[in-house]
Amino acid sequence: MILLMSTTLERERGGRVARVTYDNSRRGNCFDQALLTELADVLEEAAADPACAVIRLELAGRNFCGGWDTSSFEALAAAGTDAVAADLRTSDESLGRIRRLPVPVVAAVRGQVIGFGAGLLAAVHLPVAASDVRLSLPEVRYGFAPAGVGHTVAQALPRAQAYALLTGTTATAAQLLAWGLVARVVTETTLDAEVDELVESLAAVPGDALRAVVEVVESSIATGSPAAAYEISARTIVRPPAEGADR
């Protein structure tokens, strides 16, 4: 079992920017369910502050994510199908908590993105990747389908690219950009500066408007309908009358 308390939260710019750091770098930034829950809890805590406009997520060390903690695989293999499916559902629900945050999460992506890391990458609103990043889902080589993130990949990518990734093809940073899985690709030497610049530009947007943009995008993706977006946009246009004004 990996020790908890790998996630820290700092607030900057009067609370407009929350810096969340996940550090399990001694194990390649892999996750188990307890650590994933911890990360989601801290991100939600950061976003719950009304002053918070944007979260900068930093995964310490050389690699963005080394996948799921392999020490749990033996126990999973001995469990029943229903139990394993429930575990997969729980981890996906935790990623859903990140996707549904009311403020954008910006992350620097460096090194390797392996297995479960693809799901975490897809949950981040605005990932910025170094040009030498590589993403792979090696599960199929060990005889099982990566169902935990497989449906995320299938939903996010064109069909042919989803098959390529899920059957073991390694994707480059340029491919991730072309497929829409990252927002930018920059050099490793400028990665942190580029992320800081993006965070600063988002922090300069009025908080209510930025949160509304996140709600418009995420509700549209989730429902495939513009109905919620109309209501969200209307709330930012129509202002309540000033106190004491005629109604």
Say if CB 166 and CB 145 are below 8 A apart: yes
Does 243 reside within a domain?
no
Same domain (yes/no): 76, 18:
yes
* Count: domains in the chain: 2
Q: Are residues 138 and 23 in the same domain?
A: yes
Q: Are residues 43 and 118 in the same domain?
A: yes
Residues 186 and 126 in one domain: yes
Average pLDDT, the chain: 89
- Spatial separation of the C-alpha atoms in residues 22 and 33, rounded to whole Å: 14
**111 in the same domain as 192:** yes
178 to each of 88, 100, 104, 166, 229, how far by Cα in Å?
Answer: 28, 24, 21, 17, 26
Which candidate, 191, 118, 206, 114, places its Cα nearest to that of 157?
Answer: 118
Up-side HSE of residue 133: CA atoms within 13 Å toward CB?
Answer: 32
Listing from the earlier edge strand, what are the strands of the sheet with 134-136? 112-114, 134-136, 171-172
pLDDT higher at 220 or 149: 220
Quick one: 175 and 73 in the same domain?
yes
At 164, which CATH number? 3.90.226.10
Claim to verify: residue 167 and residue 233 sit in the same structural domain: no
pLDDT: is 77 or 58 the higher one?
58
Strand pairing class (105-109; 54-59): parallel
Q: 226: domain range?
A: 207-237
In this prediction, residue 1 carries a pLDDT of 32
Question: Does any domain span residue 40?
Answer: yes
Identify whether residues 198 and 230 lie together within a single domain: no
Please determine, for residue 246, whether its predicted confidence score (pLDDT) is greater than 80.
no
Within this chain, do residues 105 and 56 fall inside the same structural domain, yes or no?
Answer: yes
Provide the pLDDT for residue 2: 35
Residues 148 and 229 in one domain: no
In sequence order, the β-bridge partners of residue 105 are 55
Mean pLDDT, rounded, for 3-28 = 82
Is 146 part of any domain?
yes
Please report which helix (H) or strand (E) contains residue 201, including its range: helix 191-203
In a domain, 89, yes or no: yes
The whole-angstrom separation of Cα 58 and Cα 47 is 16
Instruction: Judge whether residue 87 has pLDDT over 70.
Output: yes
Q: Note the pTM of the prediction, 2 decimals.
A: 0.89
pLDDT of 36 higher than 60: yes
The arithmetic mean of pLDDT across residues 198-211, rounded, is: 92
Percentage above 70 pLDDT, the chain: 92
